[in-house]
Amino acid sequence: MKTYLVTGAAGFIGANFIKYMLAKYQDIKVVILDSLTYAGNLGTIATDIDNNRCVFVKGDICDRTLADELFAKYQFNYVVNFAAESHVDRSIENPQLFLITNILGTQNLLDAARQAWVTGRDDQGYPTWRKDVRFHQVSTDEVYGSLGTEGYFHETTPLDPRSPYSASKTSADLFVKAYFETYKMPVSITRCSNNYGPYHFPEKLIPLIIKNILEGKKLPVYGDGTNVRDWLYVEDHCKAIDAVIHNGREGEVYNVGGHNEKQNIEIVKLTIRTIRQLMTDQPEYRQILKKREIDADGRISVEWINDDLITFVKDRLGHDQRYAIDPSKITKELGWIPETCFEAGIEKTIRWYLENQKWVEDITGGDYMKYYEQMYAGR
Ligand code: NAD
């Protein structure tokens, strides 16, 4: 049985990852380490935790004593580090928290793994390592900076982070690489484009738009809405990480992307259209709407769910214009491809939110509302 330390798995991608892995492999044990910040929700993983194949530990990745205890107790084969402060807007408000979690936390885990996994020294003085171990860092395409209208991020593209968030993720990547070069530690890194799918915290674009439509609120779009992101369905990202930790080469970076570039405004309009269509096809979904107007047929109206809800707000400081990933290395070496087409993925995602409103209510308590009002006040 292989054991995994998965950090940050009460958050969006980590939760999807452990669900995917536990369903795919019967012979694994997963230990989740998560400090449950505003972005972590125990409810997301409650049905996965069984204290046998899946154990939850509440704790901070910066806590070295705890990390050492966990390595000693569970003899991990894999560390998959998702834990991070992940929201660019919040990094603009409070950069230091991003340094602490994203950089110091990663380095802390690297050192705990080094202590646990080194078996001796070779003739040249390099550490020798347990054969069946890997430290995997989950990183982002934002480390490459911003593109003009053409070109793609390759693994060899110079690192050029431009926000406190991406600067902290870049630094963490460099530490992971440094542990490979200095100690020959078995590591790998994936740099992925924007994810979407179930369990996404409603401060990010797609779940925010869904939530606001259901509440009859305006849909805030930064600047003129032309910023381009490459979108990937979250399960495709999980499959890419699975492929890299098991078959990717040690010390390598793999870009992961959906070949799916969209302007923010296109995403918002598609989300509006899809919600309206789903509510037209299945009128029972209209019960979720907080805005109650009655249409000509005597049903709760969906007429008002249209592009007029969009409101352009003051742009994010230093807002990167375009990200686009070239994932040909992971496709060529590991046979990974993005499997979920965008329209189908968006529909699946919206259906999930329509059917899991309790999850949204639980995760967006008072603190989130305070943050939301502060972010968009006066914009
Ligand atoms: P998220 O914000 O939804 O989840 C982060 C999780 O980490 C939360 O459960 C939180 O409680 C936990 N956490 C935060 N600080 C911690 C600490 N000090 N100790 C322990 N746990 C802590 O993030 P996400 O969107 O799921 O992203 C996961 C990872 O993937 C991040 O490293 C992010 O940089 C990377 N990534 C995200 C995207 C995306 O589109 N969301 C794209 C590429 C890469």
3-state secondary structure 307-333: HHHEEEECCCCCCCCECCECCHHHHHH
Q: Which segment of 180-189, 308-317, 360-369 scores lowest on mean pLDDT? A: 360-369
Gap between the Cα atoms of 356 and 273, Å rounded:
20
Query: How much of the chain, in percent, has pLDDT values that exceed 70?
Result: 96
The response to whether residue 195 sits with its C-beta less than 6 Å from ligand 1 reads yes
Q: Can you tell me the mean pLDDT for 78-94? A: 95
Question: Distance from the CA of 139 to the center of ligand 1, in angstroms?
Answer: 10
Above 80 in pLDDT, residue 237? yes
The residue extents of the domains of the chain are 2-196+233-257+321-339
pLDDT band, residue 374 (cuts 50/70/90):
low
Q: Per residue in 191-209, pLDDT tens?
A: 999 999 999 998 889 999 9
Above 90 in pLDDT, residue 368? no
Query: How much of the chain, in percent, has pLDDT values that exceed 90?
Result: 89
Question: Distance from the CA of 100 to the center of ligand 1, in angstroms?
Answer: 14
The response to whether residue 140 sits with its C-beta less than 6 Å from ligand 1 reads yes
- CA distances for 176 relative to 7, 111, 218, 232, 371, angstroms: 16, 10, 42, 24, 33
Q: Which segment of 96-100, 117-121, 201-205 scores lowest on mean pLDDT? A: 201-205
Question: Distance from the CA of 151 to the center of ligand 1, in angstroms?
Answer: 28
- Catalytic machinery residues: 141-142, 165
pLDDT band, residue 366 (cuts 50/70/90):
low
Give nearest CA residue, ligand 1 atom 13.
83
The response to whether residue 186 sits with its C-beta less than 6 Å from ligand 1 reads no
Give nearest CA residue, ligand 1 atom 15.
84
302: tokens are 């969906």
Q: Does domain 2-196+233-257+321-339 have CATH number 3.40.50.150?
A: no
Gap between the Cα atoms of 229 and 51, Å rounded:
39
Looking at the DSSP bridge assignments, the partners of residue 2 are 28
pLDDT band, residue 138 (cuts 50/70/90):
very high
Question: Distance from the CA of 296 to the center of ligand 1, in angstroms?
Answer: 45
Pocket test of ligand 1: the residue of 32, 37, 199 to mutate, having most ligand atoms within 8 Å of its CB, is: 37
Sign for the pseudo-dihedral over CA of 131, 132, 133, 137: positive
Pocket test of ligand 1: the residue of 38, 86, 102, 194 to mutate, having most ligand atoms within 8 Å of its CB, is: 86
